[in-house]
Chain A
Amino acid sequence: MSGQFTMDDLVEIMQTSIGLDDGVDLGGEHADEQFTEIGYDSLALLELAAQIKHRFGVHISDEAALDEMRTPREAVNYVNLQLSVEAV
């Protein structure tokens, strides 16, 4: 099964567990911007990985969190890739 993790899911995690500024549309104009440019540090990405593991059961290594999920869109794609690999 693919496509289980949506941009809305990512935004929800960012809002509730990590912090999101008003008016920042992660799925829109910032979808391809690096998290670091939007203001997030490596701790934010580690927390994102931990939340995805908890909510969607996808294990993401620290290295992958930092290297494979550099932008919001990359993060959504990477999680869905892992979901599809696990589903096979």
Chain B
Amino acid sequence: MVRPTLPHPPVGIDICRVLFEKVSRGGAEPLRVSNGFGAADDAVVTGIGVVAPTGIGLDAHWQAVLTGKSGIGRISRFDPSHYPVQLAGQVPGFVAREYVSGRLLPQMDIWTHMSIAATDAALADAGVDPRDMDEYEMAVVTASSSGGTEFGQVEMTRLYQLGPHRVGAYQSIAWFYAATTGQVSIRHGMRGPCGVICNEQAGGLDTLGHARRLTRTGTRLVVAGGLDASLCPYGLTAQYANRLLSTLDDPLRAYLPFDVEASGYLPGEGGAILIVEDARTAAARGGEHYGSVAGYACGLDPPPGSPRPRVLRRVIDAALSDAGLAPGDIDVVFADAYGIPAEDQAEARAITEVFGPRGVPVTVPKTLTGRLYAGGASLDAATALLAMRHGVIPATAGPIRLAPGYDIDLVRGAPRERALRHALVLARGYGGFAAALVLRRS
């Protein structure tokens, strides 16, 4: 049973369409899109679940971020000796059996196990029991970049070594990108408009933008965010193919975004799940919330060699416009921070163009975890909400000396305590994906 649709226009979709048209036409003027809501806080985040290299659970993660405790180390899941990349951010002490029943365990990849653990924690944090809600008023929209590669590798090995009749039946459902969305949907009886977003490392933000679209069209609760966990030989080999990973063997120096020594990024596993609810029904339920999805926009870079500018700057403009905010309203930026000089330069330039030289504090908690693919931006959004709740901008561990020409205020050394009302989270993915999300503190 679907609740009557409220008279809200599908703003997010319009913004994407407008943005796409601007991009594809190469228009250089900044976007000015009104969402018609002004400062409306119609979609709120009521629960967060974290399974990340910084720890399992919100408190462990936040303490690690505050103290700069890195989750990066030598890959222990398999022997990485013969691989050019031997460091990664791994979730410490994750035992799938503690979260998933014996019946379901063999049917899923570890990425889905972790996602189920994060979802259960997020729902508990929100104080939601899905059995109390109409099943068609709840949806699951996760992001995935790799799907279930470790599960797939095991089955592919069986295929090559034992033959096609020995490939397990669950290979048909466990590897693909929507597997986590499907399993979470079944687990909690959420039969609203579910989906999976595969926008590489930008997808985590796109799920939150999409969750807001859904709450504007009659869905009451959306399980959003995402994780990835692709630290198996096959998964690492696939990631290495883009030649953007750092091959240094010093866990503290291998991933140094914006630094003169930036040499690429390290991969990681995990991410975060966020519960996004319609603000009105969440208020009626009496639940607290962390903040609202105030603005969102996405875009795609022009093809390599195009004279047109890259899209991030205009995506930031569009997200601010969507939120009805000026650059001066943003108190902190969670940067995408690829760790690749050309990408860092492009991001620093976009931030400086919008906010002015050193015009806004910039932080990068993901140096503690490596890049978590679909999980990275989801975790950044979660961290941004925690930072606003606690009034603290976490310091960026790692980078010491900014590369010349990066005129950004990268928070280093110690965390900065200050009241934070709005945070901007940026994410980019291989292939030109870009997304920006504005979060407003409750």
Which residues of A approach B to under 8 Å, CB–CB?
A: 15, 17-22, 24, 39-40, 43-44, 46-47, 50, 53-54
Q: For the complex, give the distance between the alpha carbons of A18 and B102 in Å.
A: 9
Report if B173 contacts A (CB, 8 A): yes
Q: Across the interface, which residues of A come within 8 angstroms of B105, CB to CB?
A: 19
Chain B residues with CB under 8 Å of A24's CB are: 103
CB distance from B378 to the nearest CB of A (A): 28
Given contacts A43-B172, A43-B173, A47-B170, contact A21 B165 (CB under 8 A): no
| B30 CB within 8 Å of chain A | no
Q: Is B284 part of the contact surface with A, judged by Cβ < 8 Å?
A: no
A-contact 0/1 string along B96-128, CB 8 Å cutoff: 000001111111000000000000000000000
A21 touches B103 (CB 8 A): yes
A22 CA to B100 CA in the complex, in Å?
Answer: 11
Contact of A19 among B102, B165, B166, B173 (CB under 8 A): B102
Of the four ranges (under 10, 10 to 19, 20 to 34, 35 or more), the interface on chain B belongs to: 10 to 19
Q: SS class of chain A's interface: helix, strand, loop or mixed?
A: helix
The reply to whether A43 and B170 contact each other, CB–CB distance below 8 Å, is: yes
Report the minimal beta-carbon distance from A18 to chain B, rounded to whole angstroms. Answer: 6
* B165 pairs with A46, CB closer than 8 A: no
Check if A19 sits within 8 Å of B169, measured CB to CB: no
How far is A52 from B97 in the complex, measured between Cα atoms in Å?
26
Chain B residue nearest to A53 (CB atoms) is B165
Contact pattern, B 8-46, Cβ under 8 Å of A = 1, otherwise 0: 000000000000000000000000000000000000000
Measured between alpha carbons, how far is A3 from B224 in the docked complex, in Å?
51
Q: How far is the CA of A18 from the CA of B172 in the complex (A)?
A: 14
B309 contacts the other chain (CB 8 A): no
Report yes or no: B168 in contact with A19, Cβ–Cβ below 8 A: no
User: Given A43-B172, A43-B173, A47-B170, does the pair A18, B106 have CB atoms closer than 8 Å?
Assistant: yes
A39–B103 Cα distance when bound, in Å, is 8
A19 to B169, CA, bound (A): 12
